[in-house]
Amino acid sequence: MDTTLERDASAATEPRHRLARWHAELSETAAEARPSDARLAAATLARTHVALLSLVPALREGTHLGPLKPMAAWIRAALIDTSVDSLHHLADGDGTHPAQRTYQRMAEAQARCAAEVSTALRDQGIVPLLFKGVELRPRAFGGRAISSSTDVDLLVRPADIERARGILQGLGFVHARYDPAAGRLVEVPREKTEAHEKTHRELYPLCRLAPVHLEPDEIEFVRAFSPTPLFVHDGQGLLMEVIDLHRGLFVRMEVDSLFERAVPSLHAGAVTLSLTDHVWTTALRFYLESSTVHNDPKQRDLAYLAALLSLPGIDWPALVKLVSAADLRPALFYSLRLLSRLQIAAVPAWVLDELHVRRGSHYMDFGCRATRMLGLVEGLPPEIDPLVRQWP
């Protein structure tokens, strides 16, 4: 089977004129006052999201795009809610906005935490596999933060889970919640952790509180927008370092093969998912969290997916085989098709054909949740479709 993909030069290289047009589109739409008509407001937000996604390949490469008009407050709130306001800050320049500086402090502290925990586990003979944001930030965006991140996700083999818990507790991590009035952690009852762990593929979060230096304007941002797990107590920044310790990732997916395909992590002592596994797990996570059950669509995962798809080395035959065998085609198809239609990512036509929802799924097919950001469940709004088609 021929797995090569023919792309026109403009789609392959993201020429400056196309980037400039998307950048100009973002500058205008994100600055607009909120229309009184709900449909027009949804269309404005949709255009903003599409422009942000279209700039992801350039942002991944660190391309300087120039200043943007200030974001309108309602757009900013919507982008914070879907965890992509960082894309606007990065497209605006050098990341010096107080929000972006705050996110970066969080990301760097979490990276240090991940390295410490991974090294401790490795020293005790446990192979830790890091994934999600702590690995995607350096691989997809050169280490730059993409909005706030709540935790460090770490997978161990099921047989190692209790020993890993003990090692983390030895580092000062506890099953706890943050008490804002006291500015400290409060351990949760054992019955609560046990109830959680009976229905989840990860332990109840393990937490540790650490001081973080924040500039005055960063403190103002934290107080105004509460980017959990970063808090301010008595003028001091406090980061709740949270470890999500997993014994599995998704239903219908065993762990051993992930470790067999794993590659060295950028963090000491750990491994991480292969590029191909990063692609399908990111798409699946986005699809599940956008479902009617979770109803928490984070467009950050779609941005990560767009960045991953611009990297060389995806094993498309292996991805199709794995996803098809697990009956997860819709989770990949809708997002890949959307990014392909928007000319943000190059997906081989045969891959979309093999993953097409017409082939059916007994497990999950609840429509194209990728377009939740556009105010719709299926398809593109008429205000967006002509815009995409007219821009090569």
Instruction: Say if CB 43 and CB 383 are below 8 A apart.
Output: yes
Sign of the alpha-carbon torsion through 178, 182, 183, 184: negative
Please state, as a whole number, how many other Cβ atoms lie within 10 Å of the Cβ of residue 254.
10
Q: Which of 100-114, 129-143, 261-275, 291-305 has the lowest mean pLDDT?
A: 291-305
Q: How far, in Å, CA of 35 to CA of 291, rounded?
A: 28
Q: Which helix (H) or strand (E) holds 194?
A: helix 190-199
Check residue 35 and give its pLDDT: 94
According to DSSP, the residues that pair with 184 across neighbouring strands are: 179
Give the residue carrying structure tokens 């950050």: 300
Counting residues of the chain whose pLDDT is more than 90, the rounded percentage is: 67
Task: Supply the mean pLDDT for the chain.
Answer: 87
Q: How far, in Å, CA of 10 to CA of 23, rounded?
A: 16
3-state secondary structure of 69: coil
Written as one string, the DSSP assignment of 223-266 is HHH--TTEEEETTEEEEEEEEEEES-SSTT--SHHHHHH-EE-S
User: First vs last Cα of the chain: how many Å apart?
Assistant: 29
According to DSSP, the residues that pair with 209 across neighbouring strands are: 240
According to DSSP, the residues that pair with 207 across neighbouring strands are: 174, 242
Q: Which CATH architecture has domain 97-273?
A: 2-Layer Sandwich (3.30)
Q: What is the value of pTM for the model shown?
A: 0.88
pLDDT in tens, 157-205: 999 999 999 999 999 999 999 999 999 999 999 999 999 999 888 999 9
Instruction: Say if CB 95 and CB 104 are below 8 A apart.
Output: yes
Q: Cα dist. 300→28, 103, 147, 207, 351 in Å?
A: 21, 13, 8, 24, 23
Instruction: Report the candidate in 158, 137, 46 with the shortest Cα–Cα distance to residue 95.
Output: 137
pLDDT in tens, 361-392: 766 676 776 555 554 444 444 544 444 444 33
pLDDT in tens, 330-350: 889 988 998 998 888 999 999
Chain center to CA of 228: 15
Instruction: Report the candidate in 238, 249, 297, 251 with the shortest Cα–Cα distance to residue 277.
Output: 249
Tokens of 379: 């398809």
Q: Which helix (H) or strand (E) holds 55?
A: helix 38-60
Q: How far, in Å, CA of 51 to CA of 344, rounded?
A: 10
Instruction: Say if CB 60 and CB 140 are below 8 A apart.
Output: yes
